[in-house]
Amino acid sequence: MIYIMGIVSILLLSLVLGPMIIPDFVWPHIARDFLLHNGLSDTGASNLVSAIYLGYRAYDTIGETIVLLAAVTGAVYLITGSPASVHGSEKLPQKPKRRTNIISMTTGKLAPVVMLFGWYVMFFGHLSPGGGFQGGVVLASGLLFIALGRENHQRESKLDRSGLHIIEVSSLFLILLLLSIPLVFGASILENPFGKNGSTIPRVIYIVGFNMAIGLKVGSGLTLLGLLMMDMKHDD
Amino acid sequence: MITFLLMFVLIGSAYALFSRDLLYSTIALSMTSVVSALIFYLLHAPDVAITEAAVGAGLSTVIFIWIIKHTRRSDP
């Protein structure tokens, strides 16, 4: 078994180090030049990665959020609805508590900073590196830090699970609303409706709205997944 | 520089594969994520670097450590 692992790691090593040895050739640059010249004026986002995945390729992003929704739904169904969680809550042998103050102090001090950085990444995704997904993940990390530093009863009072459900579903509806806004303005679906014909609304606002909705959705969904796993009753 | 960091990633992931102690494996995996985030940053992809650092080093490490806390620590 260990020989198979060794062979696999040598193959992976050659796969990783291969592109370093191969001399670089001329990459195609049609799409790069197109994005460099038209990306800012088409979508209003100076971060070209945001311009791609919320402007040109927004359909893929919608599919990604729906995949995350399906994952969260499946996890909620499996964890809360399985018969093991009903029987598992009878009599668990209590483990001796070996909890120090270090974890709760560190997480309590670190979590606001992490969450502030998450909000920054989420809201400035059109200017600086980052975006909705990354900001949402950082936000979920901050919330899970808070959950990690608390005992069970305190965790339930601090982080409300139904509130997270509501945030996730309402941000899905916000995404659907953003999808259908261009139809009102006579544009096709997912086409940026603002900033045309001398309109005063800046064109970026569509990207910012998408970033906010996706960030809230990803953050609440991942926090919900983490909380469900932490509260899961386990039978040894 | 990048080749050196890639060797570091490879050593870390091999240690995470072969280690019998799952907590050491998780920490090695988290270190691997941080180093690959550094590689992404050096290759002018800061978006991917933020994602790698947040998902690989932050969220999945928290979940792994929580799971190790509730199960056995050693890999049989």
ipTM for this prediction:
0.76
Residues in chain B: 76
Is the distance from CB of B54 to CB of A137 less than 8 angstroms?
A: yes
**Is this prediction's pTM over 0.90?**
no
For residue A229, give every residue at least 6 positions away whose Cβ sits within 8 Å of its Cβ, in sequence order, or none.
A79, B63, B66, B67
- What is the rounded CA–CA span in Å between residue A50 and residue A58? 10
The single-letter code of the amino acid at A179 is L
Domain boundaries, chain B: 2-70
Interface probe, candidates B9, B10, B51, chain A, greatest A C-beta count within 10 A = B51
Q: What is the signed CA dihedral for A87, A93, A94, A96, rounded to 10 degrees?
A: -150
Tens of pLDDT along A3-30? 888 888 888 888 877 776 666 667 778 8
- For chain B, the C-alpha Rg in angstroms (whole number) is 13
Q: How far apart are CA A124 and CA A108, in angstroms?
A: 25
In tens, the pLDDT along A146-204 reads: 887 776 666 666 677 788 888 888 988 898 888 888 888 777 777 777 766 666 677 77
Spatial distance between the Cα atoms of B50 and A139, rounded to a whole number of angstroms: 13
Chain B positions touching A10 (Cβ under 8 A) are: none
Sorted by where each begins, the domain ranges of chain A are: 60-77+103-230
Residue with tokens 């303005």: A185
> What's the pLDDT score for residue B33?
93
Tell me which of B4, B59, B64 to substitute to probe the interface with A (most A C-beta atoms closer than 10 Å).
B59
Contact B54 A229 (CB under 8 A): no
Chain A partners within 8 Å of B63 (Cβ): 226, 229
